[in-house]
């Protein structure tokens, strides 16, 4: 038969060890919440959040970022509260005295009602709150410019994805974008030029497999689906270039579909089109005749 003194000592040792492990877990859960919040707080300054300089460069992109931050705050508050309760319970369990009574619970009806209704209300709030952003992203009649005015986006180009490049068709200078190719259309490859400061529309197509038009800094992403012509609208708030990518694994050369989107002032856009048109239709012969 085991010596009762020895058994008592052994239980004491185990309970000291269990208490230490309990405290360790408690600190782990609390610290993980503290570290997560600290990282979230500083991440935008460290540019860990979003590509480029961390800012959205389109009106819809700014709204999408605002939604992201709203959801992040809701999730962060829930996470911190959960971790704090978990840490407290573990700490309390690890430091409870042998003479204290342990609390046994077989569930609480009120608590269950609360933690069902509160998340449902939060989800309903997010669903209703984001309706306006979704409408601007997907419903043409709801597009607003940077000043909040309803506008009709101007069709500027047809963007056709193909393995493995972007072919872009613009109308001739001074003409609207024709639905079908015309002899005087202007073409570019892997360079999309658009006027900045107002909503524009591109028609997205694919010649072969499924691709995805993605401009991370504008927060614009749209699949290009075979046999469909999909209108994509957005504005570009600055006159500069942005990475334009394919976000669908479309084949062995998918990595090559890295292109550029250029935002121009109206004047620079018109100049670019003029130059592109002259360059495209110059056969070298006509120019030499004109020079003589």
Q: How far is 274 from 277, CA to CA, in rounded Å?
A: 5
Instruction: Report whether the peptide linkage leading into residue 278 is cis, meaning its omega lies within 30 degrees of zero.
Output: no
Return the DSSP state at 140.
G
Binding segment (CB under 5 A) for Cu ion, from list 16-24, 124-132, 218-226, 252-260:
252-260
Cα atoms in the 13 Å half-sphere on the side-chain side of 170: 24
CA 58, 59, 64, 69 torsion: positive or negative? positive
Among 194, 237, 245, 246, binds Cu ion (CB under 5 A): 246
Binding segment (CB under 5 A) for Cu ion, from list 9-17, 29-37, 123-131, 250-258:
250-258
Among 130, 254, 268, 277, binds Cu ion (CB under 5 A): 254
Q: Which residues contact 273 (CB under 8 A, 6 or more apart)?
A: 170, 173, 186, 193
Considering the complex, what minimum distance in angstroms separates the CB of residue 213 from Cu ion?
A: 10
Site string for Cu ion, 62-101 (x = CB under 5 A): ----------------------------------------
Contact 224, 263 (CB under 8 A): no
Considering the complex, what minimum distance in angstroms separates the CB of residue 159 from Cu ion?
A: 13
Pick between residue 128 and residue 189 the one whose CB is nearest to Cu ion. Answer: 189
Q: Does 250 help bind Cu ion (rule: CB under 5 A)?
A: yes
Task: Count Cβ atoms below 10 Å from residue 80 Cβ, excluding itself.
Answer: 15
Q: Does 30 help bind Cu ion (rule: CB under 5 A)?
A: no
Binding segment (CB under 5 A) for Cu ion, from list 24-32, 123-131, 229-237, 245-253:
245-253
């Amino acid at each position: 038969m085991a010596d009762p003194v020895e058994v008592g000592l052994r239980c004491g040792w185990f309970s000291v060890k269990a208490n230490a492990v309990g405290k360790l877990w408690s600190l782990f859960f609390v610290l993980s919440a503290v570290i997560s919040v600290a990282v979230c707080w500083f991440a935008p300054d460290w540019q860990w959040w979003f590509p480029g300089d961390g800012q959205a460069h389109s009106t819809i992109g700014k709204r999408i970022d605002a939604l992201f931050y709203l959801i992040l705050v809701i999730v962060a508050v829930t996470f911190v509260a959960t971790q704090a309760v978990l840490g407290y319970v573990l700490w309390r369990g690890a430091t409870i005295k042998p003479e204290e009574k342990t609390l046994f619970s077989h569930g609480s009806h009120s608590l269950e009602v609360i933690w069902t209704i509160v998340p449902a209300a939060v989800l309903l709030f997010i669903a209703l709150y984001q309706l306006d952003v979704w409408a601007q992203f997907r419903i043409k009649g709801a597009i607003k410019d940077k000043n909040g005015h309803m506008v009709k986006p101007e069709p500027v180009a047809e963007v056709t994805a193909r393995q493995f490049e972007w072919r872009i068709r613009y109308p001739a200078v001074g003409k609207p974008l024709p639905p079908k190719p015309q002899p005087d259309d202007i073409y570019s490859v892997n360079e999309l030029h658009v006027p900045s400061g107002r909503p524009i529309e591109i028609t997205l197509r694919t010649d072969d497999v499924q691709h995805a038009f993605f401009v991370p800094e504008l927060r614009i992403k749209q699949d290009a689906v075979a046999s469909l012509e999909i209108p994509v609208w957005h504005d570009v708030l600055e006159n500069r270039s942005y990475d334009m990518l394919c976000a669908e694994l479309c084949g062995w050369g998918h990595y090559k579909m890295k292109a550029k989107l250029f935002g121009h002032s109206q004047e620079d856009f018109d100049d670019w089109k003029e130059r592109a048109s002259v360059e495209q239709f110059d056969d070298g012969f006509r120019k030499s005749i004109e020079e003589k």
